Every structure is written in structure tokens, then in C-alpha cells.
Structure 1
């Protein structure tokens, strides 16, 4: 049984407070609120404000901008898991008449459909959605910027199309599907498409003077699936727990893992950030973070999750610019992960032993390269090089007795046992590669055969 998280040390709490205080002060933000979660529990929260005794807390709503896209992506993955669509389906199959129906659902989710980044004017984030009543108004005339599938190009209209797809296939509005399928199961009562008190007001701060201007807070209409939502640090950390482990009431752990896998090449020269399916993937300071950032006039937001260290952080602020919230949230994760590393769970034996599978464990050789096969929970296996890096993967069992790769070079590849007529094991076949019990075992079916002279030294 997993123990409850311990209280953060005083030095860690002070470092977290110092980081957000610096961000609010140097970024000249009217207010800023942040919270950190570990082992599914909020272990720290803090806020700063330009108004004395009026700082926001974990229940104060801010607009979260493009973090909304992650919610939209979850709704699409739910349709896939229910068998109502495939991610490789062209949009036209389910939502005809858009003019861009040849792009796939997968490409829209990962921003590789080649669509424009923004809707044609007027500035959609500061004007009512009623100005764009139809999808044609959102897409405009120049819909294609790049060849679909060839590169990552962030597209807000692409997520408008996904919202329309959800409504078409589900037979309910995007907002209704969101409420019923995500917010209610995860008990996210303070997340909504319209602000609910207590909530922050959006402000623009003059770049060269300490004065402010209120920003409009428009209903985005059809663009809502790309950036409409309001939420709190408390609710977003509930969402973070779901994104870390999955929740069968919403989306399985396997489907959530798929969301975290990079789906298309990033911008040229940018190897530190990639995009999965509705999730950004950031590599910083030796850690991999998944989550999303968001912005709309008057608001900035960031949610980052470190799966390995089991630490999540949310930062919300009500300013148009000035605070690099993604960097602040990443720093909060780093402060906790470095100052108070995760305590590993106790080692425990597997609940049951498959003796046939146990007999397969140990050394296997791909040519002369030594690998180790280990058992994992649930009848799975892991095959890794015995020394150094190289090709390796975890595999999950299939009903037919084979295994399919979950990650690494062999993701999606099939691992199977090839037996002799008497039932004894001849070799392992992994995507046509032969793994034998001895280097180039002459008794195994090694493609090309094994020299009959056997191993030899240098003849002089």
C-alpha cells in the first residue's frame, strides 16, 4: 500500500515560495498562484498579488487557454477507444464538407495537419466567437501552410475541427461531452467554460510603465475546444493525476501513455520540446515533463508533470505577458525533485509465477550482442542489452502467447517464441531478428546459417 506523501521540508517550501515571488515581481503580474502535487496529493501551494490581503488560492479560477486542448484530445481518444473512429481516419469520414477532409485525426491531434496557426482576422482571442459562426469562418481561405504529416505546425483551427468532430460523432456539444466524460468523473467542479466566482480578472501590463489595462474576456464560440476553459490549481492537479496514471472512468493508462509519445518532428533545431496527442513533451535539466502551456489575453497558464519523479506543478497568472509560466512550473517541479527525491516503493515479488515464462528469462544473444530477458508484472517481459545502451523495450502479453513492444526501438513489434518439433525452445523472433541462447547457436535457426567450423582463434 502506497504511503501518503510527507510534508515538504521547510527549505523546499521556502525555495518554492521564492521562485513564484520572483516570477510575480520581475514579471509584474497582478497576481500569480501555484501549487505542487506529489503522490496524488497537493503538498504545497502559494500565491502573490499586487493587492494586499487579496491573493488567489487553489480554488480561484483563471483562464487556462490552450491547456483546454488536452481536454479535447482526451475526448477524441475516448471515441477511438469506443471504436467510433480510428486515429488514421481522414477527417472527411466523420466530418464531411470542411475542405480539409483529407487530413487525419492523428495529424490534427499532433498539429501535423499543415493547417494555419490562427483563424483569419479579426484577432480571434479578443473578439466574440459569434464573428465566426461556421467552420469556414474559422479556417478561412488559405487553409494549408504545409504538406500534411511532414512537420509540426501548431494550429488552433485544427482543434476547432476536433471539437466539431466530437460533436458530430458523440451527438452532443463539446461542452456537454467535456462535463459528462471528464469533469464529473474526475470531480473537477471548478473547471468550466465560463468564469465562476471566485475568479481572476485578466489584465495587460504596460511594457514600459507600471500601469495596467483590463483585457476583454470573450466567449470563443467554435474556437472553444482550442482555449476556452477556466480552472483552478486544485482542479488542474486532479487532471495531472489522471494524465500520469490514467483512470478507466475516463481513459485507460495505455491511451494516456499514447498521448505522451511525440507524434511528429518538432521545429528544425528544437530537440527539447515535442508534441504528442494533445500534450507537450519537454526535456529539461535531465527530466522529461509532459503537460501543456496556455495563454489568452489577460492570462497565462502552465501544467507540467514529471512522471518518473511523481511531481506535478501548476502556475496560473492574470497577465497577458511578462511571466514565463512554463519555465516557472518546470522550476517548481525541479525544486521538489532535486531537494526531495522520490522514495522508491519497496521491492515485492510477483504475485504468481509462470514457470514456462520463467524458463525464458536470462541471457539471449542477437548475433554476438548479449541481452537479458526479464519477467514483468502481468505476464510481460523486458528485453535489454546486458551492457550499455542500445535496442531494448518492454513488452506486454497478447492472448496468442506473443508479446508486443511498448516502447523504444521495438515499439509495436512482435516478440514470439519459436519452438522445435519436440516443444523445446529454438530461438526468440523479434521483428525477424533471431535471439539465441548462445552467440550464433548452431542448433538454432539462424538466418544465413552458422559456419560449421565453429569459433576459432587467429591462425598464424
Structure 2
């Protein structure tokens, strides 16, 4: 880490964070609440409010985290993909007999575009001890498929029950045991478990018109467990947030984790403010992209939001059913740090040895008359950006065959090819069939349809 990268927070920032957590606990009327901040790979702040068994909760107090479980399961599935055991675009029934999946692919299950029902057939799985335990098919009713696979975003808890079963089938062990060995132990998440371990919070419902409490059941959700069974702590979720930003070669490398963060689907909100990747929720708030997940089960609400740009994350856990203040509070922890202590840029450093053939490609290019700049990046990568302030931009990864593949935006997955003349000179760039030339509409350029003989006038 550079000496210019500071992890400790200033006193004024810590007070602002405490104020936000205290406000959330008070206004949310939750018996207890814990907030934490991860910066540059480690937890740098945490605070608890309220009481659990007469004590203030801390960063190692367990809460149930609900659907954050789904992101953990998604990591297990991505490990199978990285090992070549599964194809994300293959139907789930390629790997075991699951007619209920309706032909949905693994990626569609991960991104909630499988079309499967939102909930299990009943009884209400979140509140029924051991319900739907014996057979996988038992979680589905008469109509498991509510929409054609791949048609639209439709959040499905049973879809993640199927993904947990996929892990079990290919690993030959319960998904929880695979999770402990493959993810939790390497990341040091020793306080993340499938059943509660002391110290842990008790789940409560709060009366809407009185300051009165009612205990909530903390059941074993059986076959539906991959959708929301896990208990964890603020400290462990900070470790998980660091992994979601940087990866960890013992679990998943940076490229695989980055793929999880790419929007695959999402509610069609105005302005595209939300989406869903491969097991990760994405949201745009205050001009910043956050990745993570929310979670809730009876008696508990949890949220983890992380900013890849700022290497920062906010975690909030509470022990109250339906506590809507938790989600914005986690995002506000990130904003509070960024607004007071913006990340200090890392020092600029040259690439080192540069291939002159690649250097020749850099500089201005034109899509028709629109100017673009092509820059050389680390690892022989390229970055194409508009010079007029508008237009399609993208980063490209170098491939072994001498082409580049788009990593984001419009050109994600598209191929950039350098086209050369018979003499070997660079003629133009072909980006997914779009031609970019060195000059705007010059005679002799490889412009589709040709250039008017009269030229500019």
C-alpha cells in the first residue's frame, strides 16, 4: 500500500458516522443496530447502538443477514465456473434433473432472469421450521415458471435454492460445508455460520403504534437455506466487502469477481438506478455505483454496499423485522467518508517497457467526423474515449490472437481489430463492425460506403 493511502478515519468523520448509525437506530425503532466501514481492505470503524442481553452490540455480534447469503452462494457457483465444472450459459438441467427450472441457465438463475416464482409454494419458508426439507421439487408449486426464462428480471428465492443444490451435486457435500471450506475460512470469516453462535442478536418485531416488542422465529429454512440462512457480523461482512472489490486468489481472482459486478439484469428504473449482476445487487446513488446486497428475514435486516471506485464499504445490521432505514444508512456511511475524506489518488507511474507497435495505435481516431482518443493501458489493454464529451467509450482487454475484447459499456464483449494494409501499415480500427479512421472522411480511407469525391466543401 502506498504511503499516501490512509485507512484511519478523522475524528470529525467518525462522529458523522456515529450520528448516522445512532439516527438509524432511533428513527428505525430497532432494538439494536451495528454499523461498520471498510476502507482499503480492512474495517476502520464500527459502532453499535441499543442493547443485546444488556450489552451494546459490537462488530463481532452475529445478526441474520438474509439474502446476503445469495452472494455467498454465487461465489461458490463462480468457483465451479472458474474450474471449468459448469458453463454459466448452460441450462441448469445439464448438471442434474431439474424440470422445475424450465430450461433456465445458471447465469439466469444467478441474475434473477430465470422466470421462476419469487417464493416457494408454501408454507411461508422464512417462518416455518424445517419446511420444504426433504425433496428439492417440494419447494415448487404447480406453476414454478412465472415468466419465460431470460425475458425479464423477476427476483426468485427458489432459484437460489436450486443453485445451492447445484453446488451440493458437484461438490458432493452440503453447500454450507463447501461455503465454510472454500470461502469463509480463506477470507477469515470465522463468525459467519448457518446457525447462530453467541454473542448473537435475537430477532424482534416492533409494534407499529407502540414501543413494544414481539419475538420473531429464527428457523432453519431447510432446502431454501441458500436464499437466506446465514448469520454473520459487521466485521466479517467488511472482510467479504474487501473480497468483492479486490478478489482473493484463494477464492476467486479479481477478474471473476469483477464479472459478478457487471449488470446482467435489473428493474427498469428511470435512469437505470439499479440492476443485478451474478449474485450482486448494483445501485447508483449520488453519482456513485455501489455493489453489494440487502437482506431480511423475520426479526432481521442487513445491508452491505461497497464502492469499487473508492475502495470503501458500509455495513449495517439490525434486529427488527422490516426496518427500511438500514439500506440507506449503509449507503450513507460510504457517502459520509467520501465527502469528508475522498480517496487520495495513487501515484502515477509509467507502464515500463512499451511495445512500439501498440504505441503506434494511440492518439486520435475518428468515427466518421466524431473524434475519439485511444490510450494504451497496463497489460496491453486499450481504452477508447470520446473527445467531444459524448459518445461510446469502453476499455478493451488484449487477447492472444492480437485482437481486443470490450470490457464495459456498449462494446462489452465486442471485438476490436487493428486492420492493416497489404504492406503492413495500420489502415483502420474495426470495433464490432464500426470503422474508426485516422482522419475524418479522407479520400482513400476505409469508410463503409466510401467518401464523396468532392470532399469537404
- TM-score bracket for the superposition, by shorter chain length: over 0.9
1:169 is paired with a residue whose SS is helix
Deviates more, 1:247-256 or 1:305-314: 247-256
* Deviation by residue 1:29-86 (Cα, 9 ceiling, x = unmatched): 1111110011112221111014696111111111100000001111111111111111
Q: How big is each residue's C-alpha offset from its partner over 1:113-167, in whole Å with a ceiling of 9 and x where there is no partner? A: 1111111222111112244321222112121222221111111101001111111
Whether the aligned pair in 1 keeps the contact of 2:100 and 2:145 (CA below 8 Å) is no
1:320-362 deviation line (CA, Å, top 9, x unaligned): 1234211110111111111111111111111221111111110
CA distance in 2, matches of 1:153, 1:131: 22
Query: Residue 255 of structure 2 aligns with which residue?
Result: 254
**C-alpha contact 2:304 2:314 (8 A) present in aligned 1:** yes
Alignment of 1:313 with 2:314, yes or no, is: yes
Label 1:338 to 1:163 Cα distance change in 2 as closer, same or farther (>3 A): same
Instruction: Mark the runs of 5 or more structure 1 residues left unpaired by the alignment.
Output: none
Between the aligned partners of 1:72 and 1:273, the Cα distance in structure 2 is: 21
Partner of 1:385: 386
Instruction: Judge conservation of contact 1:205–1:321 (CA < 8 Å) in 2.
Output: no
The answer as to whether partners of 1:24 and 1:323 remain within 8 angstroms in 2 is: no
What is aligned with 1:410? 411
**Is 2:29 the partner of 1:28?**
yes
- Report Cα offsets for 1:166-211 as digits up to 9, x if no partner: 1112222201211111111111111111111111111111111111
Distance of aligned partners of 1:369 and 1:323 in 2 relative to their CA distance in 1, 3 Å threshold? closer
Change beyond 3 A, Cα 1:205–1:241: same
TM-score by length of structure 1 reads: 0.96
Return closer, same or farther for 1:270/1:156 CA change in 2, 3 Å cut-off. Answer: farther
Per the alignment, residue 442 of structure 1 pairs with: 443
Alignment of 1:426-441 (within 5 A): 426-441=427-442
**Structure 1 residue 265: Cα displacement:** 4.0
Q: Quote the Cα distance in structure 1 between the aligned partners of 2:71 and 2:35.
A: 19
**Cα offset for 1:7?**
2.5
Contact 1:5–1:43 (8 Å) recurs in 2? no
**Kindly tell me: are residues 428 and 97 of structure 1, through their superposed partners in 2, closer, same or farther at Cα, counting changes over 3 Å?**
closer
> Residue 43 and residue 234 in structure 1: after superposition, are their counterparts in 2 closer, same or farther (change >3 A)?
same
Which residue of structure 2 aligns with residue 275 of structure 1? 276
| Matching residue of 1:332 | 333
- Tell me whether 96-105 or 364-373 shows the greater mean CA deviation: 96-105
**1:288-312 per-position Cα deviation (integer Å, ceiling 9, x unaligned):** 1100000011111000001112210
- Tell me what 1:197 maps to: 198
Between 436-445 and 84-93, the greater mean CA deviation after superposition: 436-445
Instruction: Give distance in 2, aligned partners of 1:309 and 1:427.
Output: 37
Structure 1: distance between partners of 2:259 and 2:97: 27
Q: Distance in 2 between matches of 1:350 and 1:216?
A: 57
Aligned pairs for 1:35-434 within 5 A: 35-50=36-51, 54-267=55-268, 271-434=272-435
Secondary structure of the residue aligned to 2:304 is: strand
Paired residues, number: 456
Q: Are the equivalent residues in 1 in contact too, given 2:25–2:32 (CA < 8 A)?
A: yes
Paired with 2:136 and 2:22, the residues of 1 have a C-alpha distance of 43
Q: How far apart, CA to CA, are the structure 1 residues paired with 2:26 and 2:65?
A: 21
Q: Could you tell me which residue of structure 2 aligns to residue 2 of structure 1?
A: 2
RMSD: 1.6
